[in-house]
Each structure stands twice: as C-alpha cells, then as structure tokens.
Amino acid sequence: NAGVTQTPKFRVLKTGQSMTLLCAQDMNHEYMYWYRQDPGMGLRLIHYSVGEGTTAKGEVPDGYNVSRLKKQNFLLGLESAAPSQTSVYFCASSYWGTGNTIYFGEGSWLTVV
Amino acid sequence: AQSVTQLGSHVSVSEGALVLLRCNYSSSVPPYLFWYVQYPNQGLQLLLKYTSAATLVKGINGFEAEFKKSETSFHLTKPSAHMSDAAEYFCAVSSMAGNQFYFGTGTSLTVIP
C-alpha cells in the first residue's frame, strides 16, 4: 500500500520563486493536512481540508495556499518563497470523525536560498 | 482548545533501562491522545492511541501509555530500552471534531549502549 505519497522529496528554491508540493493518498480519507516541522517547534499545521473542494487555515497559513480539487490529492503552494519557509513539510490524512489515526507521508525537504 | 506539552526535549537512557517520556494535555473535554515516533528522515508512525476504551494503552514495539485524567497526563513508557528505540517521539491530541491534530514539540530519545 502506498498510503500517503509526497512529491518532490527534496527541492531547493531561490527567494521569490514559486512551487507546489503534491500530496496523494490512496486510503479514501476525507481529511487531509499539511504540516511543517522545524527544530524545537514540533509540527505546526499550515492548512487542512475536511473534504473535496474545501480548505481551512491552520496555525501558520501565511505565505501558503492549498487546493483540494480531488479527494485523493492535496496541493500546497508557495507563491513567493522566503528563507523562513525552509522546512520539512509533511502531508497527512485521516478518516472523518473523532479518534481516528492520522497517517503521514515521508516528508518533503525544502530549502529556500 | 486542546494542546499538549512534552517535558524534556532530550532524554537519554542506557540500553535495557526504563524509558519514560512525559506528555501532559490540556482539554476541556475527554481527549483523544496519540503517541507517534519519527525515525531519522522519515515521516511519523503511530505508536499507540487512547480513545477512552482503556486507561492503559499498549502499542507497538513494547511501548505503552497510561491515561491519567486527574494528572492530565499520558506518559509513554517502555520497560527496557533497545538501541532501535532511538528516535523522536511526539505526543498529540485531536480536536473534538476530529479534523485537527495538535502535536507537542517532541522528545528526542537517545539510547546509550
């Protein structure tokens, strides 16, 4: 089972460039999430989606946009990358409802120079 | 709002010694609590979760956690540490709607031979 797949795994961007991170899940999960992980700060929620066509802001949404055009995909966009967005990005998904496990992808390492 | 606090960003134990990783939660209602493990350069994997069925929860790789409502704690333990347990451990709580997960800042476990 593929589970949650993220692409690309590594990327180096110049300040001001744009890019999109793609997340795909094959578990038919309703909920999908994008987190960033920084040393000493744990995981912080950027945006999430509770279903196809819906998105919502998390703790740190500034500088990012997302789209969920298909149930299995959740895209994270950086319109104008900044060095502060250098981080490891994790996509995750879960079934709707309470108490469900959240499943993570392998991560995408992004460096903005 | 729900939140979790992990006490101790770094914990070192000798191989064969008891592992104790601390997590306290803040929630106005009975929470759903999780422990995840992250090995280097990988995503997060579920160790165990508490969903009110039993206060002592057993997980994978010999780990277990006890939910103590009076102490608002959900500490993770393992009787005997193994070298392969060296990793980052995250405590998390889900929102009552189940559509957001809040993670602690993580505890890095080092196992000394």
> Each residue of A49-90: pLDDT tens digit?
999 999 999 999 999 999 999 999 999 999 999 999 999 999
Q: Mean pLDDT for chain A?
A: 94
Which residues are within 8 A (CB) of B53 and not within 5 positions of it... i.e. 6 or more apart? none
Q: Degrees (nearest 5) of the Cα angle A98, B85, A46?
A: 40
8 A C-beta contact, residue A75 and residue A21: yes
| pLDDT grade for B3, boundaries at 50, 70 and 90 | confident
- What share of chain A has pLDDT > 90, as a percent? 88
| pLDDT grade for B28, boundaries at 50, 70 and 90 | low
Decide if A96 and B98 are in contact by the 8 Å CB cutoff: yes
Q: 3-class SS at A18? A: coil
| pLDDT of A1 | 61
Cα–Cα distance measured from residue B73 to residue B82, given in angstroms and rounded to the nearest whole number: 24
Decide if B99 and A100 are in contact by the 8 Å CB cutoff: no
Tokens at residue B54, please? 């039993």
Residues of A in contact with B101 (CB under 8 A): 33, 45, 92, 94, 102
Given a cut of 80, whether residue A96 has pLDDT beyond it is: no
Please count the CA atoms within 13 angstroms of the CA of B81 that sit on its side-chain side.
21
Q: Which is more confident, A72 or B3?
A: A72
| CA atoms B50, B51, B56, B62: torsion sign | negative
Among the ranges A33-37, B96-100, B101-105, which has the highest mean pLDDT value? A33-37
Overall average pLDDT of the A19-38 stretch: 96
Decide if B43 and A104 are in contact by the 8 Å CB cutoff: yes
Nearest CA in chain B to A38: B105
Q: 3-class SS at B106? A: coil
Place of tokens 């959900």: B74
Overall average pLDDT of the A102-111 stretch: 95
Q: Backbone dihedral region of A97: left (phi > 0), alpha (psi from -120 to 50 degrees) or beta?
A: left
